Structure 1
Amino acid sequence: MTHEAKVRHQPKAIAYHELKTVPKVRLYVERPEEKQWFVHVGHVTDRGRWKTAPHAHPEYGQLIFVRNGRGVMNLEGRSVPFDGPCALLLPTECVHGLDYEHDADRWVVTIEVSYLTQVNSKLDEFVGLWASPQVITLADSDDRGMEVHLLIQRLKEEAESDAVGHIIGTEARLTMLLLALLREARLEEPTSESGTRNDIRVVERFRKLIDEHFRENLPLQDYVSMMAVSLVQLRAACSSAAEQSPTKLIHSRIITEAKRNLIFGDMSVEQIAFGLGFSDAAYFTRFFRREVGQSPSNFRTNAKSSS
């Protein structure tokens, strides 16, 4: 039985606004008195240990360059160590917390989501770079860390400049920074140049629609109609670019949100089920167990005991 057969819209009687869910953080650069921005670069120079609780940025992608120092990132409930020089790539909605050891030198590049989408459209591999959060290690060569540091400094200068053409200049410097990180990330090369590039675009559009509608229990055909492609085309693109079926991609997004709420929120399993469009909490539990290998309650207990 598919997920679509059992999901219904959540009952309005449940007061979700009173329950703890994944924190959504408005960034410090969002000040009415500041001029409109699309890229912000900050240099964090706090001394001593520095820690943030898990949170998400729904309207921004973020790149954190750790020039030196080390720490641990709480990434969607997993502990991911990092050691500078390295770059932490955090896509929009990615739930993360950061625990830096003493005196870590770090630069934070924040990119508004619509602008990030525009930059990503310049190169299909950029889409893959931001497809999931990751740590890009730059420690193999001192030159690599110095190169990224210099690119970020130049990006900051251009983003804060009022010189003629500074918007074009900012985009150019951001593109060069992402290109340097892309080459260090060593993503797998596509095997079919033209076909894979088109498949990447199709899957990226599909993922965006899933993000917008995964709570609504839309049948797969509705996604196909919105994208103006055939079901055969969508399945082929997902198989080529994501190595998953369209239904699996939808289920993965539902599971990701369920895990976030189980780890970072205080809603009951039943409330999480209703919030994700399930009318039957028991079916949600079976669905979760099938996808994850354990019940929602056990997952919550194990995740919190290991954090």
Structure 2
Amino acid sequence: MTNSASAKHPPRARAGSQLTTVPKVRLYVDQPEEKQWFVHVGHVTERGRWRTEPHAHPEYGQLIFVRNGRGVMNLEGRNVPFEGPCALLLPTECVHGLDYEYDADRWVVTIEVSYLAQVNARMPEFIALWAAPRAITLADSDGTGIDVYNLIHSLAQEVESDMVGHVTGTEALLTLLLLKLLREMDLDETGRESGSRHDVRVVERYRKLIDEHFRENLPLQDYASKMAISLVQLRAACASAAEQSPTKMIHARIITEAKRNLIFGDMSVEQIAFGLGFADAAYFTRFFRREVGQAPSQFRAAARQQPQKMGQSR
């Protein structure tokens, strides 16, 4: 069974749906639908093996604490072995599947996306922590696994409490939990941006706009105008905080979506090209080959061999 707790939060508008071949799932919450929440904590206690097919959570970020046991995470088509104690960080829209070995003990902390953005805004390092999916090994630090377990257990108690200050308490415990995980990582591993706090926030806003508009082939000036900054300021912030040009960041997002469609979907290369805003499938193939080093069809064939090796990766 799954023991869980969740904290209430005012509802937010749901983003418009987008073309995708990856299943987008909402988190199951064992509470009446009308109750709103911003943090959910679940303890999975089922015995035996547990496997989920690749999917994404469009409205949530997720932190999975594997207290003991091991398995393999299918992360954007790539197999990533893990063994407890460890923490798996899965940002919003990250495509992932999980294959736990028998009797893995795990806690799942799910955070509503707008609230996660508020927490991340406290520190640029938090933004960097959630910038990419990652597995954080805790076994090398004495007592760290116990500390993380205690924080998550306290968080579960706080989010189901109706006591005064329960929202503030939840936020404090969640912040401490993320800070604990951040400190367990090499700062270089988090991909922490070297730019100023202002540049980091500019790049974060830019990334969100890219997610909304990368299929539309918008000029860079349109992005800058939406952010009420100049194109020079946008380029400077991206160079400082992301060490990439604004154009390269758009290209990277297109390639990520193309890879997802090639790995997890059954659309033809031409259909994928059109879905990503390319008027010419041949140009899409040249673009993909330039960025990835393989033609889309070659990438699909190679990537789809990976899941067959999942059982051999442990």
Cα distance in 1 for residues equivalent to 2:257 and 2:199: 25
Cα distance in 1 for residues equivalent to 2:72 and 2:66: 12
Cα distance in 2 for residues equivalent to 1:157 and 1:65: 16
Q: How does 1:75-154 map to 2 (within 5 A)?
A: 75-154=75-154
Amino acid at match of 1:273: A
Q: How does 1:35-114 map to 2 (within 5 A)?
A: 35-114=35-114
Note the alpha carbon deviations across 1:181-240, whole angstroms, 9 max, x for none. Answer: 111122239696xx5211111110000000010011101110011111122221111112
Cα distance in 2 for residues equivalent to 1:31 and 1:280: 48
Partner of 1:29: 29
Note the alpha carbon deviations across 1:239-284, whole angstroms, 9 max, x for none. Answer: 1211111000000000000000000011110100010001100000
Deviation at 1:30, TM superposition (A): 7.5
Amino acid at match of 2:273: A
Distance 1:182 1:190, change over 3 A: closer
Partner of 1:284: 284
Paired residue secondary structure (2:143): helix
Note the alpha carbon deviations across 1:11-43, whole angstroms, 9 max, x for none. Answer: xxxxx98xx811101111285446211000000
TM-score normalised by length of structure 1: 0.90
Amino acid at match of 1:171: E
Cα distance in 1 for residues equivalent to 2:301 and 2:167: 48
Cα distance in 2 for residues equivalent to 1:211 and 1:96: 18
Paired residue secondary structure (2:136): strand
Q: How does 1:84-233 map to 2 (within 5 A)?
A: 84-188=84-188, 195-233=195-233
Structure 1 stretch 59-68 or stretch 25-34: which is displaced more? Answer: 25-34
Deviation at 1:88, TM superposition (A): 0.2
Partner of 1:273: 273
Amino acid at match of 2:233: Q
Partner of 1:8: none
Partner of 2:236: 236
Unaligned 5+ runs, structure 1:
1-15
Cα distance in 2 for residues equivalent to 1:148 and 1:60: 21
Cα distance in 1 for residues equivalent to 2:41 and 2:245: 38
Contact map agreement 2:24 2:57 (CA 8 A) in 1: yes
Paired residue secondary structure (1:162): coil
Structure 1 stretch 33-42 or stretch 59-68: which is displaced more? Answer: 33-42
Amino acid at match of 1:207: R
Partner of 1:13: none
Partner of 1:12: none
Partner of 1:245: 245
Paired residue secondary structure (2:102): coil
Amino acid at match of 1:139: A
Cα distance in 1 for residues equivalent to 2:292 and 2:30: 37
Contact map agreement 1:190 1:196 (CA 8 A) in 2: no
Deviation at 1:142, TM superposition (A): 3.6
Distance 1:271 1:30, change over 3 A: farther
Structure 1 stretch 31-40 or stretch 92-101: which is displaced more? Answer: 31-40
Contact map agreement 1:61 1:90 (CA 8 A) in 2: yes
Partner of 1:11: none
Aligned-pair Cα RMSD in Å: 1.7
Deviation at 1:306, TM superposition (A): 2.3
Note the alpha carbon deviations across 1:149-187, whole angstroms, 9 max, x for none. Answer: 000000000001010110111111111111101111222
Paired residue secondary structure (2:73): strand
Cα distance in 1 for residues equivalent to 2:73 and 2:98: 5
Paired residue secondary structure (1:61): strand
Cα distance in 1 for residues equivalent to 2:213 and 2:32: 31
Partner of 1:10: none
Task: Work out the percentage of aligned pairs sharing the same amino acid.
Answer: 78
Cα distance in 1 for residues equivalent to 2:185 and 2:27: 27
Cα distance in 2 for residues equivalent to 1:252 and 1:31: 39
Deviation at 1:93, TM superposition (A): 0.3
Aligned residue pairs total: 288
Cα distance in 1 for residues equivalent to 2:99 and 2:264: 17
Cα distance in 2 for residues equivalent to 1:266 and 1:238: 35
